[in-house]
Structure 1
């Protein structure tokens, strides 16, 4: 155990000593965190250029939602493998004046003409996944722009057309290609790299692909931003740009059925966030089709264990975390879908008696892969075989007024469908549906016209015992998002770590019979200790995490964290 402690302590070199227990309501670290600022505002996002754009908006008197528009506009340019104007998003927003947490749903929708056979081939079998991704059929009606416009109208102070200045300038003048973007551009493992639009955009005049340090310009994106700034979201959903989207999706084999009417009819959703008590806090997440209900369920199940008395150097703690994840995914995969089309048993999944029953499956050693449970109100739905590839990002923004945005945003796979219009990539979000409609009763995540596919995106906001903002966190990672967020929450609130320490912890994703992890970060001793408990971890088969978070420490100090696995930063005013 001393060896294990040494290895994990070295991972967190430069941080405070690891604490065994959290001290409600907000565990205070023993040493100064890596990112700490007075309460004048903070932005944590996946690229420093996007962070600077958000901070500029805050300095000019804008709100957290205003800044989110600017951050998204820049991310869509400098991190196009993850998100953009052609994708979708979920946001939870804390209003400092009212204390209310609102959930915004900018998830893409299937065209009205889509059927359960959308991804079935002529042979009656599901299409090859990569074939489906690169087809016109993979794209849903983009939702991020509509969602941001709705939220900005309700909670913004800045003029809409001022929020795109940074992104427009970077697109016109060029930006420096980052190492991570260059890696995606040149990776033989990215299937989109054979797509004509990807090749055209990322190939220099000399015929070579862009490399890290090169300057990349995107005048088409700058023109789109100018149109969006002057006309508002209608620039995307109606008119010439909408026609270009439809035309591009109708090209090639396996064409989309999307129409101009589908784009014009898109409406983001907003509602009270899904909030539940946890310890002495309140945790708020988006409503389905987000998987927020599943993260809440896992947190509640772990309250029935002694994980908080252990810590990140204890293999039993990691085993408990893995077992909670397996139960969480078993229920999520069975029941979560678009509530406009399928009954999601939220109350049943979060019922204390049901949670306690499911928590009995969490032991100090791994058991058989758990089956889905039968919560009260569970509908009769079939099995699920949804696949979720990489390509997502997360931001947290706190403005000087105390308003907070926690937002996860995506184009789904790397460079989405590989199809580009107006300087941005179109999503392949519909491949988040279950491909096969023939497995008995329709699954909760079966394809239907106008339906939103299930999402693993779970931006989180945590309130303290008085209902005030305490923390926000979230991550990309495909289906592993749930595990990454859960790890960070346990690290901060159960193990008393700084936000940066919790984010930097090794990742462990347990689903069914699979245990995927940052094996090199755990080290050989911890790996062996987990193996002895039936948790046979192997090198991660998931998209890497990109956690970003902010927490309020005693005295009102804002402490942020950014995932070292990516290129993000947390920076304050």
Structure 2
């Protein structure tokens, strides 16, 4: 792929040669040049990796680089994330060893009510109707979250981190095969994206055909938005940008009711990470309203009584255990996780040692658990129903800087191209469809993930950081994929921690998603193992395209870094 010079403004501070992009370890001569604290970026697009490295080489921190990476991804991978969406960022402080989670999850407008996705007939709206309507758009949290993280951990001026994306927006970038395929698919499916004036003018040729692969796409309107945000991040939430967002959300047959006050009142949140020991490591992730930190840790805890190292990825028993742990953890997640500001979330109960031992014992069998039901952890009376559809238009990246700081960040606009509305050169999210479309249980009580004004919908995002026995950074991982994120991330962790695989090897393992009683297996899953699972009583949905986007970085015994990027997408690793 031909690179355009997106970091010319940072060239004096950067290395004299182009950054090395690789899936595996650096060449010996590159390793010899590396500092005692090497740096690395693993992200879903080469342009974004190049931008992150430019900032790191200019003396920026991992958070500075995250701003550069995400503002480029917003443009070159708009189907997945961007300024109009939200994110969770898990940060490891290389000096103190502390882990902080920055919550940039979107919020519902204050006017939102539990029946937001109920039609005139009293039934839930169809997902596509809801997702492309104004009702689906949440108040974007990404910009405020990055500003909060930068306030704590930035080393460069806030504005400097926007230079790569502004330069690229003006010069243009080559449309990638994946992006082109997404644009074409929207037209083939007759979705609003292909017909709305803003998106049609930007992503299709004058004759209406999708932009071809290699087309140099410029976005001067996005450059203007970035200049405004670079001058002051609050310009995103007040003034012309905010007015354009409100107008777009409310110009719909099903208007969203978002106001300028909703935008100006948005606040990102610092949260304590959910951390739990797994064998000799400590696994840390994002807390509710993200479900990843709890559910990934519960899934691993259910595997802990079993010697997974003896049942590797080529064994039926290894995958049987992984599937059953997934089913049980997902069942609990669906029943109990929501926004802790609006519901009592039994985090301590779900990770209680006695409760986990009871759940893990269910895996000690020779055939499939007939039905995977949620348990009743300490502190709750009974599980509640859930009706949340969670498609995956999301991205993930990992950054390690020269001071040993680490960012593991997952960002999203929810569905592919989000709400399919474009303002200021970026796309808006449809994040509110991550709320349950059924708001009440049979007794009339609100379920944990019901819609409410100012509430954050439950997320599957699982930006994960693992520490070693000494409390030092060991690895970081994460993925897009809607509710499948948890299975993807857990697979990568089991692969690296239990099965001794490199990041690239763990990422390349076939994906197996066991949420509920139908097990989705990727088409690369070995046929003999699939037959064995069927013989054990599992119901398989085989030959699925489980399109994870895992990115991971691990510390090797000599202190160097080894990264991996998911071959299912267009990511690379750079250092």
1:543 Cα shift?
Answer: 5.4
1:534 Cα shift?
Answer: 2.2
Partner of 1:444: 448
SS of the counterpart of 1:356? helix
SS of the counterpart of 1:67? helix
Matching of residue 303 in structure 1 with residue 307 in structure 2: no
Partner of 2:77: 79
Residues 370-385 of structure 1 correspond to what in structure 2 (within 5 A)?
370-378=372-380, 382-385=384-387
1:192 Cα shift?
Answer: 4.6
Give per-residue Cα distances to partners, 1:175-214, cap 9 Å, x unaligned.
1000000010001348353440332321123432102111
- Matched-pair contact (CA < 8 Å) for 1:35–1:570: no
Partner of 1:476: 480
Partner of 1:430: 432
Q: Which of 542, 565, 568 is residue 571 of structure 2 equivalent to?
A: 568
- Matched-pair contact (CA < 8 Å) for 1:316–1:364: no
What is the CA–CA distance in structure 2 between the aligned matches of 1:121 and 1:138, rounded to whole Å? 14
1:533 Cα shift?
Answer: 1.9
Could you state the TM-score of these two structures normalised by the residue count of structure 2?
0.92
Partner of 1:460: 464
1:378 Cα shift?
Answer: 2.0
Q: Which of 413, 416, 420 is residue 414 of structure 1 equivalent to?
A: 416
Residues 419-568 of structure 1 correspond to what in structure 2 (within 5 A)?
419-440=421-442, 441-519=445-523, 521-539=524-542, 544-568=547-571
- Matched-pair contact (CA < 8 Å) for 1:130–1:191: no
Partner of 1:7: none
What is the CA–CA distance in structure 1 between the aligned matches of 2:420 and 2:193, rounded to whole Å? 8
Matching of residue 141 in structure 1 with residue 127 in structure 2: no
1:132 Cα shift?
Answer: 0.3
Matching of residue 398 in structure 1 with residue 400 in structure 2: yes
What is the CA–CA distance in structure 2 between the aligned matches of 1:374 and 1:101, rounded to whole Å? 30
Partner of 2:289: 289
Question: Which has the bigger relative contact order, CA under 8 A and spacing at least 6?
Answer: 1
What is the CA–CA distance in structure 2 between the aligned matches of 1:100 and 1:151, rounded to whole Å? 14
SS of the counterpart of 1:551? strand
Aligned-residue CA RMSD (Å): 1.5
- Matched-pair contact (CA < 8 Å) for 2:522–2:546: no
Partner of 1:34: 24
What is the CA–CA distance in structure 2 between the aligned matches of 1:428 and 1:532, rounded to whole Å? 40
Partner of 1:68: 66
Give per-residue Cα distances to partners, 1:285-305, cap 9 Å, x unaligned.
111011110110111110022
- Matched-pair contact (CA < 8 Å) for 2:414–2:431: yes
- Number of aligned residue pairs: give it: 539
- Matched-pair contact (CA < 8 Å) for 2:440–2:450: no
- Matched-pair contact (CA < 8 Å) for 1:33–1:498: no
1:379 Cα shift?
Answer: 5.7
Partner of 2:7: none
- Matched-pair contact (CA < 8 Å) for 1:109–1:451: yes
1:382 Cα shift?
Answer: 2.9
Could you state the TM-score of these two structures normalised by the residue count of structure 1?
0.92
> 5+ residue gaps in structure 2?
1-21
- Matched-pair contact (CA < 8 Å) for 1:316–1:365: no
What is the CA–CA distance in structure 2 between the aligned matches of 1:343 and 1:542, rounded to whole Å? 36
Partner of 1:102: 100
Give per-residue Cα distances to partners, 1:79-104, cap 9 Å, x unaligned.
00000000000011000111100011
- Matched-pair contact (CA < 8 Å) for 1:326–1:369: no
SS of the counterpart of 1:511? coil
What is the CA–CA distance in structure 2 between the aligned matches of 1:368 and 1:421, rounded to whole Å? 48
Matching of residue 211 in structure 1 with residue 212 in structure 2: yes
What is the CA–CA distance in structure 2 between the aligned matches of 1:240 and 1:317, rounded to whole Å? 55
